[in-house]
Amino acid sequence: MKVLMVHAHPEPHSFCAALKNQAVATLTAQGHEVCVSDLYAMQFNPVATAGDFLQRENPEYLNYALEQRSAFAAGKLCAEIQTEINKVIDAELLIFSFPIYWMSMPAIMKGWIDRVFVSGLFYGGKRIYAKGGMQGKQALVCATLGGRDYMFGDKGIHGSLHGPTGMLRSLLQGSLGYVGMEVFEPFIGYHVPYITAEARVQLLSDWQQALLELDKRPVMQMPLLSDYDDTFRAR
Amino acid sequence: MKVLMVHAHPEPHSFCAALKNQAVATLTAQGHEVCVSDLYAMQFNPVATAGDFLQRENPEYLNYALEQRSAFAAGKLCAEIQTEINKVIDAELLIFSFPIYWMSMPAIMKGWIDRVFVSGLFYGGKRIYAKGGMQGKQALVCATLGGRDYMFGDKGIHGSLHGPTGMLRSLLQGSLGYVGMEVFEPFIGYHVPYITAEARVQLLSDWQQALLELDKRPVMQMPLLSDYDDTFRAR
């Protein structure tokens, strides 16, 4: 299997980076081919601008999604974006590895999605969810945070982190599911700056096990297109 | 009243920018003092890095939140961040104006939060929600998107955009509410790239009216600290 890991943490020796390294080692040992986009190491630019297009459909007024569509079709996306798109096309499984900042991704990873998930290829017209451009691919989120597990969920002060009403819904459903990927239940490392070395070793082991048993991991239910008409109104 | 508008759109002539300009004109005409952080015009850097701190608590290992806390206390945050913090401290109302990218903020605005909402000032220890560092301030989100209104909400294909289970919950509750701000129901402009000029004029007028009647606008319910013990476990 070909795997793309998109990793974003400003500290190369973070526990989050250790989880990333664990994934690379585990998957490689299984015979999978792993490509890593380490966004901080690459100094990836997360800001969507007119400079993303080597040729413009409308040089007077920037409609970012329309320019994505025509630049992708014409092969006129800037090299930084086209390179990442090629990695996604090549991958069967995408793993997103990041620390949770403000209940979502760090900006550098949000911008990777803003710029790489181009209209026309990833989605477009009626091609979303089960008909999305990335159908057939799988996605797995591996995130670390400072908060404790009991602060989340039905009784948690912050409400759900993942699941149908979770804080991460804009990523899990609104981005990964939206483009047609099959999205696994995320792997979350809670309270990592404060836990013991033993607890960290256990988390690394849990993560390894999760990767070895990925075929048994639950996937998230996405909206069913059959429940909506062809303008996406509820039937 | 002192108002800080944080605006992020790559096209200066966008409808989103027109909404921003409408807000500046309306609020200024009412006698309010409006400061605008136009993130694209400022070329704001959204990437949280070690360079954000002029002095490090631990130069060997970057724990971003801990470095925020000590650098803020020591007055050693980089100028770009300290300038934005000063604007927030000065403001009574913050307005966030942006196009919805992937069911959330563009990366440049997400990074403004990642870097500006520093630990120690905005939150810390037990100081979240009603005890958050920004209590007494109000926040209003004004967002535009391509999707139609019926695609959201209980029967919408994507589920809720705002409200307790909405796609924007990581911003509205997890960021703005978390730091203690009173968060108004957001103002959303649906389907803006495709609507008529008349519909756009109507939206601008609705937005103006919303600003003139802000004191009547519903605010979002945040978690009540009294429902949790001092470790934030449900009582």
Q: What ipTM was estimated for this complex?
A: 0.98
Helix (H/G/I), strand (E/B), else coil: A118: coil
Q: Do B157 and A234 touch (CB under 8 A)?
A: yes
The Cα B143–Cα B40 span in angstroms is 16
Instruction: Mark residue B8 as left, alpha or beta (left: phi above 0; alpha: psi -120 to 50; beta: remaining).
Output: beta
Provide, as residue numbers in chain B, all residues whose Cβ is less than 8 Å from the Cβ of A175: 102-103
Mutate one of A56, A104, A127, A175 to test the B interface: name it (highest B CB count within 10 A).
Answer: A104
- Give the pLDDT confidence score for residue B163 in this predicted structure: 87
| Per-residue pLDDT at B164 | 86
In the predicted model, is pLDDT for residue A130 greater than 90? yes
Query: For helices B15-29 and B197-212, what crossing angle results, to 10°?
Result: 30
CA separation for the pair B166, A170 (Å, rounded): 9
Q: Which CATH architecture has domain B2-227?
A: 3-Layer(aba) Sandwich (3.40)
Burial class, A82, CB count within 10 angstroms (exposed 0-12 / middle 13-18 / buried 19+)? middle
Under the banding of pLDDT at 50, 70 and 90, the label for residue B222 is very high
Predicted pLDDT at A66? 96
pLDDT band at A125 (very low <50, low <70, confident <90, very high): confident
When pLDDT is averaged across residues A53-67 and rounded to a whole number, the result is 97
pLDDT at site A102: 98
Residue of A105, A127, A170 for testing the chain B interface, max B β-carbons within 10 Å: A170
- Other Cβ atoms within 10 Å of A235 Cβ, number: 6
Q: What is the mean pLDDT of residues A152-156?
A: 94
- Tell me the percentage of chain A whose pLDDT exceeds 90: 98
Q: Kindly report the nearest CA distance between residue A45 and chain B, in angstroms.
A: 9
Mean pLDDT (chain B, rounded)? 97
Contact A48 B101 (CB under 8 A): yes
Q: Is A104's CB within 8 Å of B49's CB?
A: no
Name the nearest CA neighbour of A23 among A206, A163, A172, A152.
A206
A–B CB contacts, 8 A cutoff, strictly below = 179
d(CA A100, CA B114): 10
Model confidence at B27: pLDDT above 90: yes
* Domain range annotation of chain A: 2-227
Overall residue count recorded for chain B in this entry: 235
Name every chain A residue with its beta carbon within 8 A of the beta carbon of B141.
none
**Quick check: A195 contacting B, CB < 8 Å?**
no
Phi, psi torsion values for B153, nearest 5 degrees:
95, -175
A232 touches chain B (CB under 8 A): yes
Q: How far apart are CA A176 and CA A6, in angstroms?
A: 13
pLDDT tens, position by position, B117-155 = 999 999 998 999 999 999 999 999 999 999 999 999 999
The 10s digit of each residue's pLDDT in A172-201 is: 999 999 999 999 999 999 999 999 999 999
Is residue B165 within 8 angstroms of chain A, CB to CB? yes
Give me Rg for the CA atoms of chain B.
Answer: 18
Tell me what pLDDT residue B66 has.
Answer: 96
- CB pair distance less than 8 Å for A11 and B63: yes
* Lowest mean pLDDT segment, chosen from A42-46, A179-183, B63-67, B125-129: B125-129
Q: Is the pLDDT of residue B182 over 90?
A: yes
pLDDT of residue B146: 95
Distance from CA of B95 to the nearest CA of A (A): 18
Q: For residue A163, what pLDDT is reported?
A: 87
**Average confidence (pLDDT) over A119-134:** 96
Q: In the Cβ-directed half-sphere of A138, how many Cα atoms lie within 13 Å? A: 16
Residue B94 in contact with residue B181, Cβ under 8 Å? yes
- 8 A C-beta contact, residue B226 and residue B196: no
- CA separation, residue A79 to residues A4, A33, A51, A71, A117 (Å): 18, 23, 11, 12, 14
Answer whether B111 touches A (CB < 8 Å).
yes
- Residue of B9, B47, B117, B165 for testing the chain A interface, max A β-carbons within 10 Å: B47
Chain B positions in Cβ-Cβ contact with residue A63 (cut-off 8 Å):
11, 193
Rounded mean pLDDT of B165-186? Answer: 97
Strand partners, A35: A4
pLDDT at position A204 is: 98
Q: Which residues pair with A104 in a beta bridge?
A: A101
The torsion angles phi and psi of B234, rounded to 5 degrees, stand at -60, 135
Shortest Cα–Cα distance, A131 to chain B (Å): 14
pTM (predicted TM-score): 0.98
Mean pLDDT rounded to a whole number for chain A:
97
Average pLDDT over residues B78-84: 98
Q: Average pLDDT of B44-57?
A: 98
User: Residue A122 corresponds to which tokens in the numbers above?
Assistant: 């990833």
Is A107's CB within 8 Å of B111's CB?
yes
Backbone angles phi, psi at A95, to 5 degrees: -120, 125
Check CB contact of A215 with chain B, cutoff 8 Å: no
Interface of A with B in 21-50 (CB under 8 A): 40, 46-50
Q: Pick A170's closest partner by Cβ from B49, B156, B170.
A: B170
Q: How far is B216 from chain A (nearest CA, A)?
A: 26
